[in-house]
């Protein structure tokens, strides 16, 4: 074994050890072990290169790493109840063993990530509800404020009506077109507010959420 062969052997050994005893990278460890053993048992670097090609070891190595990463990501999103973000690792794991080349792997993973990224963007329009909390509180304050009789119409009614009219106009002219640019059939889904991935971002009791939802419907004309 010449010096260059020894250097490569040490390199693949260090790669293998990086994943050794790491439960998150069991597939990568086995793949790196195969690479290490392949170069260790090769008579020359040319022989090792032939094994890489014939046994498709480099592609298997890339697949192993993706499987480990996406398995960990899948568990994380499951634990967090991130149902939409979970779709990417689930879909990638469904196809990863069928890829035939590095480029095929990169392309198909990228396509899945792009598709799910769009779905995430659509899902995040649900956050419009919580973003409106301050304006909903402002409307409520003006509608319920105790003011002299001569100011009641202006403060309790007219000012609130102006805010609501502005909110409905913004929804129709800005929010809705933006959302439907991602999904032509999009409409605000009130059921999504209660999903854990959205509900945990709203740090108020359920009774407040219920009240604000009704106010949100009025403010946005839904």
pLDDT score of 1 more than 80:
no
Please tell me the predicted confidence (pLDDT) of residue 147: 83
Is a pLDDT exceeding 80 seen at residue 12?
Answer: yes
Answer for the pair 82, 192: CB distance below 8 angstroms, yes or no. no
Q: For the chain, what is the mean pLDDT?
A: 95
Tokens describing residue 66 = 């993706």
pLDDT, tens digit, 9 for 90 and up, residues 175-221: 999 999 999 999 999 999 999 999 999 999 999 999 999 999 999 99
Q: In this structure, what DSSP letter does residue 42 have?
A: -
> What digits encode the pLDDT tens for the residues 61-77?
999 999 999 999 999 99
The residues spanned by each domain of the chain are: 3-115, 132-220
Which pLDDT band holds residue 5 (cuts at 50, 70, 90)?
Answer: very high
CB 125 within 8 A of CB 188: yes
The distance of Cα 3 from the centroid of its chain, to the nearest Å, equals: 46
pLDDT of residue 3: 87
**Which of 114, 125, 132 minimizes the C-alpha distance to 181?**
125
Two structure tokens written together for 205: 């009791």
For 162, other C-beta atoms within 10 Å of its C-beta total: 11
Q: Which of 64-73, 123-132, 140-149 has the lowest mean pLDDT?
A: 140-149
| pTM for this model (two decimals) | 0.88
């Amino acid at each position: 074994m010449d010096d260059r062969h020894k250097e490569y052997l040490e390199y693949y050994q260090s790669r293998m050890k990086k994943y050794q005893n790491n439960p998150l990278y069991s597939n990568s460890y086995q793949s790196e072990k195969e690479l290490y053993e392949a170069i260790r048992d090769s008579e020359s670097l040319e022989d090792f290169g032939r094994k890489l090609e014939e046994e498709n070891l480099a592609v298997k190595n890339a697949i192993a790493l993706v499987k480990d990463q996406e398995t960990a990501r899948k568990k994380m999103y499951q634990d967090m109840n991130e149902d939409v973000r979970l779709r990417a690792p689930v879909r990638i794991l469904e196809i990863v063993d069928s890829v035939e080349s590095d480029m095929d792997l990169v392309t198909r993973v990228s396509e899945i990530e792009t598709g799910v990224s769009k779905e995430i963007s659509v899902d995040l329009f649900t956050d419009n509800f919580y973003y409106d909390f301050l304006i909903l509180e402002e409307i409520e304050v003006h509608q319920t404020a105790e003011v002299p009789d001569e100011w009641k119409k202006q403060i309790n009614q007219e000012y609130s009506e102006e805010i609501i009219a502005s909110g409905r106009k913004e929804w129709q002219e800005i929010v809705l077109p933006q959302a439907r640019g991602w999904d032509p059939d999009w409409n605000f889904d009130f059921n999504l507010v209660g999903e854990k991935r959205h509900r945990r971002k709203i740090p108020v009791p359920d009774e407040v959420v219920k009240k604000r939802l009704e106010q949100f419907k009025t403010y946005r004309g839904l």
